[in-house]
Amino acid sequence: MSFTHAFNATSLREYDIRGVVGKTLTEADGFAIGRTFGSMIVRKGGSTVAVGYDGRTHSPLLEKALVDGLKASGINVLRVGRGPTPLLYFAAFTRGTDGAVMVTGSHNPPEYNGFKMMIGKKPFFGKDILELGRLAAAGDVVEETQGHDETVDLSDDYVARLVKDWDGGEQKLKVVWDNGNGAAGEVLQKLVKHLPGEHTILFGDIDGHFPNHHPDPTVPKNLEALIAAVKGTKADLGIAFDGDADRIGAVDGNGNVFFGDQMLVVFARDVLKALPGATIISDVKASQVLFDEIAEAGGNPLMWKTGHSLIKAKMAETGSPLAAEMSGHVFFADKWYGFDDALYAAIRLLGITARSPLSLAEIHDALPKVINTPELRFECDDVRKFAVITEVAARLKEAGADVSETDGVRVKTADGWWLLRASNTQSVLVARAEAKTEEGLERLKADLVTQLESSGIEAPDFEHAASGH
């Protein structure tokens, strides 16, 4: 039987394949991903792929279609079932599979779903995904044959490995966990039974309709229930996950949000005690406070491009033991496997809190204070967005500004810094600014507006766009 398949152009993203189920993503796409990705694995000499799926209502059907496609390419499939994305990564690393695919819509609304892939132990992204689309459209796949599948429950093994790195002793913390009805629910129930202290789980049931709040812990509104529960129970801290638990959110005992870069300060100080001088990586959206604090703690701060696949690749290249993004992806490679895992990051945060003479709230209060805008996103044509960045960079360099072009343009001034970059996944430009004072922030925003207008772009609405952290 001949095979060709054309994906909806909007579904082939930089880091994964994602779309609205029944509209831009279908079971036929699931089969085609299996058929084509399986062929790519076979042509590299591989034969096994691990597959998992999240708690969305359509994930089981997409998972079955994916497995059928993989098997039709002669792949032997290790099905780990429903659970968080890190459980699939754990299966891939510990079972030594040649590839892995997670069916997940991550933090997107309920009508979305998608596929995250690994080839060997590396992320499959960017050009790999475009190549998969090209091969499917051309019908360039291996001859049809029949692999087999095996279902395994690795959740107990995964929880045991998580608990192995608990280093908080017998200190009994009071912790509130917000599962957000996401895919970590069952694993989380098992995990807390192995930890000392008092643990409360909010929205622990896995429910792909997300009836309580959107499963994205980077949006403060989605943390309101967690903050209320932490304050109400006088807990030491609160932990939140996104829909597939590869991103973490955290709040201290006073209900203050720990942003991704602030969490990395806490993690970096701890890791650098054991590994002085190590390279610690974060993305261009992170606060200057983070990079300064890493250096202060004896580390080598490295600013890199935004995107979990890009960060993972840079970690492997530099031998970095730790990295994190503003979006809540945290990557430990000192004792862990280097993949983004919110459950593991939580274990490490709890351990640090348990061992510290200071509360997490006191650690938060001691961080240098800055004022920054939230991430500002505004429409810009997919082709034009990269040209705007090039134009802005050229003007700034001609003016003698202090510019980093790691990912877009990040400009340092006496007041602080501002950033303008093109989104890898959408037709938008992304801006952010940070200063030590309100007046400084206004000057930075004015500089950014001037540059945008010079490129014929209407500036974003900066009104009320400031938040201290």
Instruction: Say if domain 371-468 classifies as CATH 3.10.310.70.
Output: no
CA distance 110 to 218: 17
pLDDT of residue 376: 84
Residues 320 and 267: beta-carbon distance below 8 Å: no
CA distance 131 to 118: 14
pLDDT above 70 for 461: no
Confidence band for 463, pLDDT divided at 50, 70 and 90: low
Residues with Cβ within 8 Å of residue 400, at least 6 apart in sequence: none
Q: What ranges make up the beta strands (E) of 104-179? A: 112-119, 122-123, 149-151, 174-178
Question: Scanning the structure block, which residue is given the tokens 């932490």?
Answer: 230
Give me the CATH code for the 9-153 domain, please.
Answer: 3.40.120.10
**190-240: per-residue pLDDT in tens?**
999 999 999 999 999 999 999 999 999 999 999 999 999 999 999 999 999
pLDDT of residue 14: 87
pLDDT of residue 273: 97
- Tell me how crowded residue 300 is: count the other CB atoms within 10 A of its CB: 15
β-partners of residue 300 are 279
Give the DSSP letter of residue 31: H
Q: What ranges make up the beta strands (E) of 128-267? A: 149-151, 174-178, 198-202, 237-241, 248-252, 257-258
pLDDT above 80 for 241: yes
Q: Write out the residue limits of the CATH 3.30.310.50 domain(s) in the chain.
A: 371-468
Confidence band for 383, pLDDT divided at 50, 70 and 90: confident
Residues with Cβ within 8 Å of residue 424, at least 6 apart in sequence: 13, 14, 15, 306, 307
pLDDT above 70 for 462: no
Q: Which of 11, 73, 106, 320 is catalytic?
A: 106
Give the DSSP letter of residue 16: S
pLDDT of residue 269: 98
Superfamily in which the 157-366 domain is placed by CATH: Alpha-D-Glucose-1,6-Bisphosphate, subunit A, domain 3 (3.40.120.10)
Tell me the mean pLDDT in the region 23-52: 98
329, 334, 335, 337: CA torsion to nearest 10? 50
CA distance 432 to 327: 14
CA torsion sign for 239, 247, 372, 109 is negative
Which segment of 31-35, 272-276, 309-313, 315-319 scores lowest on mean pLDDT? Answer: 309-313
Nearest to 88 by CA among 165, 45, 181, 152: 152
pLDDT of residue 427: 84
Q: Write out the residue limits of the CATH 3.40.120.10 domain(s) in the chain.
A: 9-153, 157-366
pLDDT above 70 covers a percentage of the chain that reads 98
Residue 157 is encoded by which pair of tokens? 């093994």
The answer to whether 106 is a known catalytic residue is yes
pLDDT of residue 457: 87
pLDDT above 60 for 464: no
Mean pLDDT of the chain: 95
Which segment of 86-90, 162-166, 372-376, 459-463 scores lowest on mean pLDDT? Answer: 459-463
pLDDT of residue 423: 87
**99-138: per-residue pLDDT in tens?**
999 999 999 999 999 999 999 999 999 999 999 999 999 9
288 vs 424, more confident: 288
